[in-house]
Amino acid sequence: MPYDLGPGDAGPDDPGPDDIEAFRRDLADIEHRVQREFGTGGRTGRILLAVTALVVAMLMPLTSSARAWTILSGSLGDDELGSIFLRVFIVLAVAGGIAGSLLALVTRRWALAWATMFSQGLGVLFGMFALWAEATAHPHARTPAIALYAAFALTVVLAYQWIRVVTNKENILPPVTRYPEQDL
């Protein structure tokens, strides 16, 4: 017999205890990586459509006399800059709604999904205040344009979609546990 194995001896093709332990470590590493990622549950297209529409809304005039980038850059006079609520809303819509959504969808990281959800929740609040302030409370009140209403509605849509992504039950996995040591 070319391979006379005694009891407890492994054959040439049988994995040894070191190979099995390395395999377990690899599986645990993969499990950790998977837990840091999320799945959109089929919402990627809706999120991308809302982001595209939000980009278009930000390029249009948000009020009767100002576009988003002119308000943020301060190139208008002080009396035409708009309320602080409008400026914060634009920052949240651009940073969270556009950049945050795209970055979260590309990287699939939980932290970015949570940050995007949180920024869009705040964006809804500041968007509501911006609409109110631009229409009534601002000393130099002017009429909000349709793009401001559209940007607010799209922020609501993005907030809803990100809340659904973050609270999706398919994304919630049990914590990683160490495999019990087994006698081989």
**57 to each of 50, 52, 70, 82, 115, how far by Cα in Å?**
10, 9, 14, 17, 22
pLDDT for the residue 6: 54
pLDDT, position 13: 58
Distances (CA, A) of 133 to 85, 125, 128, 178, 184: 7, 12, 9, 55, 71
Look at the pTM and tell me if it is higher than 0.75.
no
Tens digit of pLDDT at every position of the chain (184 positions): 455 555 555 555 555 667 788 878 877 777 666 666 777 778 999 999 999 999 999 999 887 777 787 777 766 555 555 678 888 999 999 999 999 999 999 998 888 999 999 999 999 999 999 888 888 865 566 678 899 999 999 999 999 999 999 888 666 655 556 655 655 5
Give pLDDT, residue 85. Answer: 87
Ordered DSSP codes for the chain: ------TT---TTS--HHHHHHHHHHHHHHHHHHHTB---TT-HHHHHHHHHHHHHHHHSBSBSS-BHHHHHHT-S-GGGS--HHHHHHHHHIIIIIIIIHHHHHHH-BHHHHHHHHHHHHHHHHHHHHHHHIIIIISTT--PBPHHHHHHHHHHHHHHHHHHHHHT-GGG--PPP-PPPP---
Q: What is the distance between the alpha carbons of residues 135 and 184, in angstroms, rounded to a whole number?
A: 75
Query: Tokens 């922020």 belong to which residue?
Result: 155
What pLDDT, on the 0 to 100 scale, is given for residue 123?
A: 96
| Nearest one of 173, 177, 180, 164 to 34, comparing CA atoms | 173
